[in-house]
Chain A
């Protein structure tokens, strides 16, 4: 390879071939919203770029009866604009609040997942929606749950060449030879008992998320009990996080504000809030407030009556 290159491959196969041969030298560029500021301030040297933003197979949204498949290079704006995603209100709620128009127009869902910053809004949402990430390499394709990308990853996880220099924001279990191809969101059995919500707090509009909470719930046939719940969190820990203790506590409880508050009180067991921009005490308090409200709203949207 020459000293520097910037390529626009035509297909996923071509990307995989390049990664296979040069994975420790090349960097995937999708929307560049995470990457380019790091390049500009000198944190990252971008000598060989593989720009995937023009690959048709990666910029499509497809919807079938079973699932919605979003190509990894689909921008936030295109997700918002796509009527197809109206089945997932929390996805739209989260995306609508991301950064500013420029970030939404260029930033992509795959770029977000691959950078794994804990403050990203999309990760808890995809967790709540039980999404699967499709990851490919010249060796084939694997499918993993969203939270599995981060759950087992530790600082020691081996990261792909050029990225380990700078990602460090959050470890992500994707190999240097791999590319995220798509995100699959299963269709929700629309029996009218499902509800979801996403909300967050920032210091100023467009600022970093201080705390973000997403919820999806499934209510009993009589809609007065929570059958199952997923609670996903943004910006509260080292990686995108879930709240298993709260989820378990919610299961089978009556849909009362009192029960919701009681379950949320256990949130502290699930997270270790960081101290960026605000104190960890405050972050936890806000996460609790938002969680109560988010769960309550999801229950209401599922047709439950809150007492």
Chain B
């Protein structure tokens, strides 16, 4: 449940400031707060989202979902359901196409599915399905599931993309069962460094399973034309999704075409890749009935069969010298993949391994990570895959270490930061652009200014905290394999259509693309129409709208196309006007020469089409330094995030207003992670799978005062100096708040969310006449 922001709260202020390091590009497109192209339809409610779409002669699907977490289906009888009026097909799990076997692996897994002429009929028919399941011993704790003797979730290790990403060699003898992915890495001599360190600090941290809670629930329409499957749904990573669906359904990748609805839903990772119990089920029913089939998740199924952020358990051991130099870090993480892989266990673990080394100088380093199948609901992509969890653990730990050494946490961090141009400790080359020092300095200045005159009353505990965070831009490979292309067509009326791989998921990518075209070509942004190119187009793209690559890589392709379009256009105009190209200036759709001023449409006789391309040779890291001030009520443990400063290096802000929006959104997401949300489960059965019981943050939980500091480090490889923002801005938020809570109450909550209850019982020096309840 949410509640409107108290509009009368005049103390609330959100401010953004921006200091541009270098001369900004001219103001004709990029660098300005251009109005979003989608704003009117979204604000007026006319936007057509996935769940608003209806297509003629479409059938409606309903899915019978498992109520037990682990078992084998012995019989599934769909006869009575098939006989219901209005039912066109009813399929048992094993009758569905593709990799469906007879095993139930989590609550919410598919038992059977029905397609009927309307949704109510489909749901009613589910009640007619009889089935018999042999229950197996389930396993819910990832650390237990990986040990020998634990119940096996997948008898045959499924090859669902996960294992194609890299060869897996498990070197830990205790890790035997249910391994989804595994990474081990080391450099230097950690044991020796820990032995000789002045201080060794060891701690465990856990992060919760959380759900995206996208406002628009999952909805897809699947249909077949001959052997070609068409799925209309919001998916950010279309290319990979087509491959995954093809593999799953055992058809050619080329036989799968995914299109997005007129207005895609928000994603935050929740709409990056297909889900087992979603698109494949609709596709199977459509194949069987020969008609389009629409499957929509009810809200509770979002929690069961959508995806969740991997629940993780971290153990960190850090060695430091008396004067605060990190000499060693040993990290181990266990991530809970749930019942099915989503190809990102690998990303969780590799981000856990690499990101600390993009931030700090760590001469001796040892890392081990394993992601593990359990009978919990599936995990998958969620904003900052692995890095959100890992940064919480690392930045909480660093706060503890600084306290142990007796250093100010900020000074401690500064002392160990990698500098621009300095080689990473893992030998992966130098940090290219890093605005982290500026983030720290400017963020701190602003934070001190606005928290300076705060007095606190005797019945509140005030605490302050800081955290850093970094994440790479794009897929992170940075090896030239990630590419994107864009096609621009200028029509004779002077308007431009841009075909790109972008998906406007609310992040504002269509607006940014129109700004880039406007800037390069000299037309107003309103004259640019941005479309997604169809899968069948001869244009290339690897990953779509994921991994903060839209502006960086797709934007790079658009810019490349824009410069080509501009020079072709200038050539044509100079020929038409019989002047030198150097004398032609195009601004706001109007052509200016020494002699005349005419509009493009008066001169252009044939349309111009160009294709641009960008390749990610780098994966530049973006940095943020975030500062939080919390007020804790000692009588209830309630945490109020009063003040927050998000200082973020974005390379270059193509649209400062939208950058601010991304930062504010990250703060909201981070507040939610830090103090609100957790999908709790009892024996694999989610206990709070409704928005009445699952806490999501609303504007009320936002800081009363929030300032966004936009730092521009001018990234060499990005368009106009831009780099990723969506993902990198999230990780520092929660640890900054966690560190502030630690400062306020004298104890650390190592298992977010720091709900009022957890904080209440964790308060230092508390004396209870009753035992502190055990918190699972």
Q: Which residue of A has the minimal Cβ distance to B761?
A: A282
Q: Contacting A207 at CB < 8 Å: which of B636, B638, B695?
A: B695
Q: Which residue of B has the minimal Cβ distance to A101?
A: B4
- Set of chain B residues within 8 Å of A99, measured between Cβ atoms: 1, 3
How many residues on chain B are close to A (CB under 8 Å)? 26
Binds B, one of A48-56, A148-156, A197-205: A197-205
A205 B636 Cβ-Cβ under 8 A: no
- Set of chain A residues within 8 Å of B4, measured between Cβ atoms: 100-101
A278 B2 Cβ-Cβ under 8 A: no
Q: Say yes or no for B676: interface residue by CB 8 A criterion.
A: yes
Q: Say yes or no for A285: interface residue by CB 8 A criterion.
A: yes
Residue-wise, chain A 282-307 has the 8 Å CB interface mask toward B (1 for contact) of: 10011001101100000000000000
B1 A201 Cβ-Cβ under 8 A: no
A211 to chain B, nearest CB (A): 9
A207 to B690, CA, bound (A): 12
B1 A206 Cβ-Cβ under 8 A: yes
Q: Say yes or no for A277: interface residue by CB 8 A criterion.
A: yes
Q: Say yes or no for B693: interface residue by CB 8 A criterion.
A: yes
A203 B3 Cβ-Cβ under 8 A: no
Chain A contact patch, size range: 20 to 34
B698 A204 Cβ-Cβ under 8 A: yes
B636 A201 Cβ-Cβ under 8 A: yes
- Set of chain A residues within 8 Å of B757, measured between Cβ atoms: 278-279, 282
Q: Which residue of A has the minimal Cβ distance to B634?
A: A289
Residue-wise, chain A 138-161 has the 8 Å CB interface mask toward B (1 for contact) of: 000000000000000000000000
- Contact count A vs B, C-beta below 8 Å: 65
- Set of chain B residues within 8 Å of A279, measured between Cβ atoms: 757, 773
A204 to B675, CA, bound (A): 9
B693 A201 Cβ-Cβ under 8 A: no
- Most chain A C-beta atoms within 10 Å of own C-beta, residue among B3, B697, B760: B3
A289 B695 Cβ-Cβ under 8 A: no
A279 to B772, CA, bound (A): 10
- Set of chain B residues within 8 Å of A292, measured between Cβ atoms: 635
Q: Say yes or no for B696: interface residue by CB 8 A criterion.
A: yes
A203 B756 Cβ-Cβ under 8 A: yes
B695 A204 Cβ-Cβ under 8 A: yes
- Set of chain A residues within 8 Å of B697, measured between Cβ atoms: 204
A62 to B178, CA, bound (A): 68
A204 to B694, CA, bound (A): 9
- Set of chain B residues within 8 Å of A100, measured between Cβ atoms: 1-4
Q: Say yes or no for B493: interface residue by CB 8 A criterion.
A: no
B676 A203 Cβ-Cβ under 8 A: yes
A205 to B676, CA, bound (A): 10
Q: Say yes or no for B43: interface residue by CB 8 A criterion.
A: no
Q: Say yes or no for A281: interface residue by CB 8 A criterion.
A: yes
B770 A281 Cβ-Cβ under 8 A: yes
Residue-wise, chain B 741-773 has the 8 Å CB interface mask toward A (1 for contact) of: 000000000000001110011000000001111
Given contact pairs A203-B755, A204-B695, A205-B2, A289 touches B635 in the complex (Cβ within 8 A): yes
- Set of chain A residues within 8 Å of B692, measured between Cβ atoms: 207-208
A293 to B761, CA, bound (A): 20
Q: Contacting A206 at CB < 8 Å: which of B698, B761, B771?
A: B698
B636 A286 Cβ-Cβ under 8 A: yes
B114 to chain A, nearest CB (A): 16
B693 A208 Cβ-Cβ under 8 A: yes
A100 to B91, CA, bound (A): 41
Q: Which residue of B has the minimal Cβ distance to A104?
A: B3
A282 to B697, CA, bound (A): 21
Given contact pairs A100-B4, A206-B2, A206-B3, A282 touches B693 in the complex (Cβ within 8 A): no
Q: Say yes or no for B168: interface residue by CB 8 A criterion.
A: no
- Set of chain A residues within 8 Å of B638, measured between Cβ atoms: 201
Residue-wise, chain A 203-219 has the 8 Å CB interface mask toward B (1 for contact) of: 11111101000000000
- Most chain B C-beta atoms within 10 Å of own C-beta, residue among A207, A208, A293: A207
Q: Say yes or no for B176: interface residue by CB 8 A criterion.
A: no
Residue-wise, chain B 682-704 has the 8 Å CB interface mask toward A (1 for contact) of: 00000010001101111011000
Given contact pairs A286-B636, A293-B635, A205 touches B700 in the complex (Cβ within 8 A): yes
A207 to B698, CA, bound (A): 10
Q: Which residue of B has the minimal Cβ distance to A37?
A: B692
A279 to B636, CA, bound (A): 13
Chain A, 163-210, CB within 8 A of any chain B CB: 201, 203-208, 210
B773 A204 Cβ-Cβ under 8 A: no
A99 to B757, CA, bound (A): 21
The contact sample of 5 A-B pairs, CB cut-off 8 A, is A100-B2, A100-B3, A201-B756, A204-B696, A289-B635
- In addition to A203-B695, A281-B773, A286-B756, 20 A-B residue pairs with Cβ atoms within 8 Å of each other are A99-B3, A100-B3, A101-B4, A201-B756, A203-B676, A204-B695, A205-B2, A205-B3, A205-B701, A206-B2, A206-B3, A206-B698, A207-B1, A208-B693, A210-B756, A279-B757, A279-B773, A282-B757, A285-B636, A290-B636
Residue numbers of B with Cβ under 8 A of A are 1-4, 635-636, 638, 676, 688, 692-693, 695-698, 700-701, 755-757, 760-761, 770-773
Considering the complex of A and B, which 3 residue pairs feature the smallest CB-CB distances, nearest first? A206-B3, A205-B700, A289-B635
